[in-house]
Amino acid sequence: MKRAGLLGSAALALAVMSAPAQAQFKSALDTSEQTARETAASQQRIDQLDDQTAALLNDYRANLKQLEAARRYNASLERNVEAQTREIERLTVDIENVEGLQRAMQPLMEDMVETFGQLVNADAPFLVEERAARAARLQGLMSDTSQSAAQKYRLIVEAYQIENEYGRTIGFYEGTIGDGESELTGEFLRVGRIALIFKTPDDSVLRIWDKDARDFVDLNRSYLQDVKFGLRMAKEQTAPDIFFVPVKPPAAAAQ
């Protein structure tokens, strides 16, 4: 209604004006309307650009956060790489040291194996076959290329540990003594490494290993009850307790 009134007013004004004046007024009116339309279009473009600018700003801020996260992640990776590089260098040094240690360990292990065989041969003859087989396995172990130096050393130490246990425990086993022509079957009582005693089932034979004679010699029968008690202890048939076995004094003390 308002626009119609303005147009009516303009038409009335044009009617009372002269022809040149009417033409100028109409031109001014058209220019005003065109300016209004261009202003509205410009404002619309400004609004669009403002929205685009806000979207770009949000994207920029998001990209900045991603960039910062990427930088921190890369810094963390660089620290990990540096740590792994140092670990590689340390392992390289360790490998070189191990190679040198292996070269030094080889003669030591050979000496240990040789000494082990000498120990078994010089010791009292208990569990002869078992211990001789263990010594033979160690001899074969040194030429076994499938076993690493660490594995060889572990097996050698285990063999020594078993021998060490013999020295602080008591044990029993069944076996025979004799020279091959006449053999006696019975039980052996091992008391650490200080005594190895043989007894027949009927108690008629009681002997003890004599290191100097390198043979079994008769044992005074006064020790028979102690030997029987020791066998029951070794078999875990009775609680541990004290029993007596003969022990030779050291040579210096005997003199």
- Residue 252 is predicted with a pLDDT of 58
- Residue 95 is predicted with a pLDDT of 66
Claim to verify: residue 194 and residue 215 sit in the same structural domain: yes
The answer to whether residue 116 sits within a structural domain is yes
pLDDT at 67 over 70: yes
Phi and psi at residue 139, to the nearest 5°: -60, -45
The residue among 146, 166, 186 that closes a domain is 166
- Residue 53 is predicted with a pLDDT of 85
The residue among 123, 144, 166 that closes a domain is 166
**d(Cα 149, Cα 190) in Å, to the nearest integer?**
34
- Residue 199 is predicted with a pLDDT of 95
The answer to whether residue 3 sits within a structural domain is no
The answer to whether residue 35 sits within a structural domain is no
For the stretch 122-148, pLDDT in tens is 899 999 999 999 999 999 998 888 888
**d(Cα 120, Cα 109) in Å, to the nearest integer?**
17
Among candidates 241, 242, 239, 245, which has minimal Cα distance to 190? 245
Phi and psi at residue 196, to the nearest 5°: -130, 110
Claim to verify: residue 178 and residue 242 sit in the same structural domain: yes
The answer to whether residue 189 sits within a structural domain is yes
- Residue 89 is predicted with a pLDDT of 83
**d(Cα 174, Cα 23) in Å, to the nearest integer?**
143
- Residue 15 is predicted with a pLDDT of 52
Per the model's pLDDT, the better-predicted residue between 232 and 67 turns out to be 232
Claim to verify: residue 160 and residue 220 sit in the same structural domain: no
- Residue 7 is predicted with a pLDDT of 47
Claim to verify: residue 157 and residue 174 sit in the same structural domain: no
Q: Which of 6-10, 75-79, 93-97, 183-187 has the lowest mean pLDDT?
A: 6-10
Per the model's pLDDT, the better-predicted residue between 94 and 138 turns out to be 138
* Average pLDDT over all residues of the chain: 84
Claim to verify: residue 176 and residue 241 sit in the same structural domain: yes
Neighbouring CB atoms inside 10 A of 227's CB total 24
Claim to verify: residue 210 and residue 159 sit in the same structural domain: no
- Residue 254 is predicted with a pLDDT of 46
- Residue 206 is predicted with a pLDDT of 95
Is residue 149 within 8 Å of 99, Cβ to Cβ? no
pLDDT at 99 over 80: no
For the stretch 5-63, pLDDT in tens is 544 555 545 455 556 666 776 777 777 778 878 888 888 888 788 888 888 888 888 88
Q: Which residue has the tokens 């029951």?
A: 232
Domain range for 231:
170-247
Among candidates 108, 124, 189, 193, which has minimal Cα distance to 156? 108
Q: What percent of the chain has pLDDT over 90?
A: 41
Neighbouring CB atoms inside 10 A of 154's CB total 12
The answer to whether residue 80 sits within a structural domain is no
The answer to whether residue 175 sits within a structural domain is yes
Claim to verify: residue 190 and residue 219 sit in the same structural domain: yes
- Residue 16 is predicted with a pLDDT of 52
Total domain count, the chain: 2
The residue among 136, 166, 196 that closes a domain is 166
- Residue 18 is predicted with a pLDDT of 59
Q: Which ranges in 123-148 belong to alpha helices (H)?
A: 128-141
Among candidates 128, 138, 190, 129, which has minimal Cα distance to 159? 138
Claim to verify: residue 157 and residue 210 sit in the same structural domain: no
The answer to whether residue 55 sits within a structural domain is no
- Which residues contact residue 14 at a Cβ distance below 8 angstroms, ignoring those fewer than 6 apart? 22, 25, 26
Claim to verify: residue 176 and residue 243 sit in the same structural domain: yes
**Whole-model pTM?**
0.58
Strands 170-178 and 183-191 come out as: antiparallel
- For residue 168, give the amino acid letter: R
Per the model's pLDDT, the better-predicted residue between 2 and 236 turns out to be 236
Top mean-pLDDT range of 10-24, 165-179, 193-207:
193-207
- Residue 180 is predicted with a pLDDT of 60
